[in-house]
Amino acid sequence: MIINKELKHCRFVQNRSARRRRRKCMGRLYVKIKDQDNVVVAVQDLKAGTEVMEGLVTNQDIPQAHKIALCDIPAGGEIIRYGVVLGYAINDIKKGDWINEHMLDLPQSPSVDDMEYGTNLVPMEELPMPTRTTWMGYRNAEGPAGTRNLLGIVTTVQCAAGVLKVAVERIKKELLPKYPNVDGVVAVTHPYGCGVAINAPLAYIPIRAITNVIRHPNFGGEIMVVGLGCEKLTYDRVLPPEDITPENVLTLQDYAGHDAMMNAILEMAEKKLQKLNKRTREELPLSDLLIGMQCGGSDAFSGISANPSAGYAADMLVRGGATVMFSEVTEVRDGVHMLAARCPDAHTRDRLAEEMKWYDKYLAEGGVGRDANPTPGNKAGGLANIVEKAMGSIAKSGTSQIVEVLSPAQKPTKHGLIYAATPASDIVCGPSQVASGIGLQVFMTGRGTPYGLDISPVIKVCSRNELKNHWFDLIDISAGDVATGEKTIADVGQEIFDMILDVASGIKQPYSDQYGFHNDMCIFNPAPIT
């Protein structure tokens, strides 16, 4: 009996030693964010029986980026990550268990009434110093500078989209080679303009988006709008009277037949190209740069690697005088009190609360709860619910003070960190940021997307190296080395900062532009369709 016990103990010691050797060979196995967290995130796929740390052995196979219980958690007990309660255990959870989205109840969303503000204001001098303070852009008469020199042609109605797309292909082939200083021609088409309740209370949102896109900084102040002639979205709704001239607007129904329409579009376009061709890049301060930060809560690594790194770059830009915009309402809603703490005054806090309440009502009227986000892909990447997603998503904003809060498609009026209350859907958020005037966008992803914008270049940053290895010629920067411990957040943040300025200056092209992967202009339209 004693011998058997000794043999059993010997085997235990040998097995434990073997597990430790395997652990050492496998590299970093987990990431823990806060001391009070009772879960860690698996850095790689782990087999059942893996010793993750001293005294913690996995009870099941655990996929990369998914959570492992650090202790026994009783039914109803708190599951904590980022120092935040993600939810409550539906059933008893054992130490070493795989915790997924099916195992916890969603907590109540935080109230937006009487949120404390000004309690987490990082002074400008404590933000990381930018290593570059200028860039090469296209100066505009007003507003931010352009990162590209584009001819933008905007439709007032989807009915004109087909004609315009054909015309743009001809412009690129027949006219553009004559004007080497022009980077390209963009047809801004959208599913709005007719069959819509144009006077509905919420119609101002899509109308504002189209109005502001017409004057995007990358279009150099040249206006070219193409309508059909019978749409509800008439020129006077998107342009002031002084801009509604034969030089700026064109109505297809005024022309007899295909050739006449095409010739009219090409003639107007050539006059605009002649003006744009006179523009050249010049050295500009960072204060002339406006960029957007989008997405970022796409997997459980996002809040560990990609988003904090993007946030570090955002802090560098803000310190240098640039304007940085970050977005998505449902993806920050559960951390809204954290954002309120970074608002310097009651007005900014109140605007934040106002936008959150608007979306709460919008979702409620549609019979949709906030638990409709995350997506299946997000959950496959380890996100249990919207609370966990929000914690990662907020990280892309960095640490600086929030100086302004915007409604969808509004233009900023201040320099610094801006919160733009756009929908969380990438395909709608992107155009909303474009309408706000971003010169380029930094897009974080954990699951992978070929998303891009034709008006503003998009830099793709992934949260894990496996995605970069898989999409080696689609992802611009991988932050995966932060998760594995090979790089710091500051290291990758510097990479992102440098690429932002290189892309903005026309020195580099992100992969989405190299391949022409550009999504449609999906305008956010909460108003009815009649």
Cβ–Cβ < 8 Å for 179, 277 = yes
Using a cut of 0.85, tell me whether the model's pTM lies above it. Answer: yes
**Secondary structure in 3-state letters for 449-509:** CCCCCCCCCEEEEECCHHHHHHCCCCCCEECHHHHHCCCCHHHHHHHHHHHHHHHHCCCCC
| 42's tokens | 């698996």
Which residues are CB-contacts of 450 (< 8 A; sequence separation ≥ 6)? 474, 512, 515, 517
In whole angstroms, give the CA distance from residue 492 to residue 463.
11
> What pLDDT sits at residue 12?
45
pLDDT at 13 over 80: no
Residue whose C-alpha is closest to residue 189's, from 205, 204, 210, 203: 210
pLDDT at 23 over 70: no
**Secondary structure in 3-state letters for 139-207:** CCCCCCCECCCEEEEEECCHHHHHHHHHHHHHHHHHHHHHCCCCCEEEEECCCCCCCECCCCHHHHHHH
> What pLDDT sits at residue 352?
98
In whole angstroms, give the CA distance from residue 291 to residue 293.
7
Which residues are CB-contacts of 175 (< 8 A; sequence separation ≥ 6)? 266, 269, 270, 273
Q: Which residue is listed with tokens 């709460």?
A: 360
For the chain, how big is the Rg over CA atoms in Å?
26
| 504's tokens | 């903005």
- Collapsing DSSP states into helix, strand and coil, what is residue 125? helix
Distance of CA 219 to the CA centre of its chain: 22
**Secondary structure in 3-state letters for 315-336:** HHHHHCCCEEEEECCCCCHHHH
- Collapsing DSSP states into helix, strand and coil, what is residue 408? coil
- Amino acid identity for residue 423 in this structure: P
Q: Which residue is listed with tokens 């019979």?
A: 367
| Beta-bridge partners for 85 | 80
Kindly report the backbone phi and psi dihedral angles of residue 331, in degrees, each rounded to the nearest multiple of 5, phi listed first.
-85, 5
Q: What is the pLDDT of residues 212-227, one digit of tens each?
A: 999 999 999 999 999 9
**Percentage of residues in the chain having pLDDT higher than 90:** 88
Q: What is the pLDDT of residues 344-392, one digit of tens each?
A: 999 999 999 999 999 999 999 989 888 888 888 899 999 999 999 999 9
pLDDT at 84 over 50: yes
Pairing of strands 51-53, 56-57: antiparallel
- Amino acid identity for residue 104 in this structure: L
> What pLDDT sits at residue 17?
57
Which residues are CB-contacts of 229 (< 8 A; sequence separation ≥ 6)? 251, 252, 253, 254
| 153's tokens | 């042609």
pLDDT at 26 over 80: no
When pLDDT is cut at 50, 70 and 90, the band that residue 298 belongs to is confident
